[in-house]
Amino acid sequence: MWIWESKDWPHFIYDKDVLREAERQYLKNAGECIGSVKFFSDEDQENFKIELLTDEATQTAKIEGELLNRDSVQVSMRRQMGLSADNRKIPPSEHGVSSMMLDLYNHFAEPLSDEMLFHWHRQLMNGRTDDVQIGAYRTGTEPMQIIAGNVYDSRVYYEAPPSKQIPDEMRHFIDWFNNSQKMNALERAGLAHLYFVLIHPFDDGNGRIARALAEKALAQEIAQPSLTALAYTIESEKKSYYAALEQVRELEVTKWLSYFAETVLKAQQNTLDRIRFILQKTKLYDRLRGQLNSRQEKVLARMFREGIHGFKGGLSAANYMKISGTSSATATRDLKDMVEKGALLKTGELKHARYYLNIGNEK
């Protein structure tokens, strides 16, 4: 018997006490995020939002095996926000997912509806030419099955409700979502994700929309976009995510909610790390103002664009030469000067020398 065949469906059972400490930490972290971002310049606030939304758009697709061009997603977002961007042609899928993420960000407070879900689905499926029902719930007569394993050793680990039940299931889901705002944030977001995935109302895109619904629930709790790097965090530990979903076989879902709460807190920590990175960037630029030449400024800006993890293995002299377009001797002098001025930290010697931003981050 599938979970939705239970006479008590969809009344999930779980131990709220298990989530109590995580809920407290979530609100504390959210407050820190909101407060810290206020110290950003207007430009840094815009860039931070675009970077985070771009990562979420590309990573939520990657979880499902779809690889998007990150630069195209970001350019599409910048254009839709009325910001400067290059004139590249944006593929339909990149434009669609960026539109969906911006719609989620800008309209998080609006009640959920069939129309909103259909709109998100059309955006996610933008450019699809295969036999997928777009912007509508599935109507096919074939069972909607989630299959694990490969073609030679596969098994059905979940079968969703038949399509004839979907309109009623989604009516109940939407009513539940819109009337559950008194729940704690992690409880509601975790249940929204799980409940939606178990219904699996679309031919494709259910996981991406489920994660968007979780973000919507988190944002509604704090009355502003949560900027939680949820998809980014899930993708980094994708096997754990699918394992947690696969273990849900009955209405008792404490383990799922515990997993989900832990994942949200990890995602918040990622966001906090990014915020601190930007604040440290501002301090470093203030300290070095007027002390660097144009080559050094160009390389420093390029290093910051790599984000909190920086260049893999650190910046080499060869990297410096390529970015700045200068000679080996000049690169050596420039790098030595940047270390002496406290812009960079150096490890190793000669050809093994590597350089890192001097902002207190782990290398």
d(CA 48, CA 299): 20
Burial of residue 34 (number of CB atoms within 10 Å: 0-12, 13-18, 19+): middle
Q: How many CB atoms lie within 10 A of CB 171?
A: 11
d(CA 337, CA 354): 14
Identify the pLDDT of residue 362.
41
Give the C-alpha distances (Å, rounded to integers) separating 245 from 42, 59, 198.
40, 18, 9
Rg (CA), the chain: 23
Peptide bond into 10 cis (omega under 30): yes
pLDDT tens series, the chain, 363 aa: 999 999 999 999 999 999 999 999 999 999 999 999 999 989 889 989 999 999 999 999 999 999 999 999 999 999 999 999 999 999 999 999 999 999 999 999 999 999 999 999 999 999 999 999 999 999 999 999 988 766 667 788 899 999 999 999 999 999 999 999 999 999 999 999 999 999 999 999 999 999 999 999 999 999 999 889 999 999 999 999 999 999 999 999 999 999 999 999 999 999 999 999 999 999 999 999 999 999 999 999 999 988 887 888 999 999 999 999 999 999 999 999 999 999 999 999 999 999 999 986 443
Q: Helix H segments across the chain?
A: 20-37, 42-63, 70-80, 92-106, 114-124, 166-178, 185-199, 206-222, 230-236, 238-246, 254-288, 294-305, 317-324, 328-340
Identify the pLDDT of residue 83.
93
Burial of residue 346 (number of CB atoms within 10 Å: 0-12, 13-18, 19+): middle
d(CA 274, CA 111): 30
Kind and range of the H or E run holding 143? none
Domains of the chain (ranges; CATH) run 3-276 (1.10.3290.10), 292-357 (1.10.10.10)
- In this prediction the pTM is 0.90
- DSSP secondary-structure letter at 157? E
